[in-house]
A and B are shown apart, each in its own frame.
Chain A
Amino acid sequence: MIRTESIHIPFTYAAGGTSSIFLAALRDEARILATPCPACDTVICPARSSCPACGGPTATPVDVGPAGTLVSWTELADGTTLALVRLDGADTSLVHRLAGGDGTWVAGQRLRARFGESRTGAITDIVGFESENGAGR
């Protein structure tokens, strides 16, 4: 016997010190922030309070993007295209969606973030990344 049960629970996560700055910049100014690690000499995007590599504290956030390079991509069964994007000025890749174009993407191609009109302070304030020329290749 198989029983199907729903689980329906609302969660509310505190973004915390650095991620709050990151999300507020997305929402209010359509800016993408990253944090430099002074010890590793890398710039981590999205901004976070400690370096994922060495564990040390990060420095004051800096602007990266909004243009960047497509690192890799895959098309999901529901038709959305998931991508790793290396924003200009950052040393780590951001997971996001690709938008527009004819569905033909090539690793290494140039991209640009497209921001939504009404933004709420969430990573989805970036609607997706599109070809820097405004369309797919």
Chain B
Amino acid sequence: MRSVAVVGTGQTKHARRRDDVSQAELVREAADAALADADMCAEDIEAVLIGNMELFEGRGLPELWVGGGAYGTGKPVMKVATGGTSGTSTAIAAFHQVGSGLFDRVLAVGFEKHSEGHTQTGMALTDPFWDRAVASGALGNFALSVSQYVAAGHATEDQAALVAVKARRNAARNPHAHLQMPDLTVDEVLASKMLAHPLRMLDMCPQSDGAAAIIVASDAVAREHNPRPAWVKATATRHDQCYIGDLDRRLLSMRTLRDASAHAYTQAGITDPVRDLDVAEIYEPCTYAELAWYEALGFCEAGEAGRLVEKGVTSMTGALPVNPSGGVLSTNPVGASGVIRVAEAACQIHGRAGQRQVERADLALATGYGVYAWADVVVLGSEP
């Protein structure tokens, strides 16, 4: 495979309800922003990938309805749907389309409009013979797994609240972010409404309307479009068995993310992620998940994630800033969320992250997380 890079990124303003635009117009907003960032016109794009959950908007063939918004007419257009990892999988598919030599310039765009449907209900349409009658969507499922994580002594509610505060304060420096809570405190997190024990309102991601796009280019043309392309150093994907009850204490084991990151680190020559990586954009649907991912990603030993956040290791001024964008905890249009992780990681390498820019970003991690335990890992670098 030849080298490929992300040369442009674009995001919409994310919000609880973007009723000023249709789905196609929302996608257009992100596509135009990415094209402008890569100094490219729509005619330059050879293929289009669309990332979107299915059923959340109750609309068949989302790639048909928004394909024109993404300038897909007359070009190969393909939808990628892998649950919460849809966005990162869409980016990875674009890397492969370009890396294989098929195309030189590909647009990958993810979107979701949660305001138009019922997200938790869509997620609860599980196996009709098994658990559809009792499924409770992402909230109930996470709460079950977090109860095990807490009972095993891996995190306290105060440590989780610190993650919530870090995310929302970082988001205040990100003009695209949905939630803007620059002064949020631990006490406010702990006082927020209990949604599903032990998860409180401010432990959870919001539901956002939004779209995000990246432009992926081959080594032959990347530098024409960006003086500092974000080169793809590694990608890895792992799925697991399909029922929540199949996965033994999933937040504690999280073998998919553990295996995928180990594989990606080897490809990218990373031996100590906290030392070697300059920034990480990880897909954390709730505060406790961020802590569990620290363990699975090898940022710390098992049970040490809470102390990592207490010591500020993953804050903007720490050794490895995690989610300078504010993360999924601040912005979550699901089909776009994985694209946002990759776009934010790329933006850091490009040196275009504005007030959320970390110093000397040469190696960046982006992850995706979906359904019960699906994992995508992407490593981007400043050198091919």
Contact = CB atoms under 8 A, between A and B. Distances in A.
Classify A-B as touching or not with yes or no (CB < 8 A): yes
Interface of A: 3, 5, 7, 9-19, 48-50, 52-55
B122 interface: yes
B22 interface: yes
Contact of A9 (B68, B73, B117): B117
B72 to A, nearest CB: 8
Interface string B41-52: 010000000000
A14 B18 contact: yes
A11 B56 CA distance: 9
Contact of B71 (A9, A18, A55): A55
29 contacts: A3-B129, A9-B58, A9-B117, A9-B118, A11-B58, A12-B116, A13-B22, A13-B57, A14-B17, A14-B20, A14-B21, A14-B22, A14-B113, A15-B22, A16-B20, A16-B21, A16-B22, A16-B23, A16-B25, A17-B21, A17-B25, A48-B24, A49-B22, A49-B28, A50-B25, A50-B28, A52-B73, A53-B73, A55-B71
B117 to A, nearest CB: 5
Contact of B42 (A15, A18, A55): A55
B125 interface: yes
The 7 nearest A-B residue pairs measured at CB = A16-B22, A14-B19, A11-B58, A55-B71, A16-B25, A16-B21, A5-B128
Contacts of B73: 52-55
B2 interface: no
Nearest to B31: A55
B352 interface: no
B23 to A, nearest CB: 8
Nearest to B56: A11
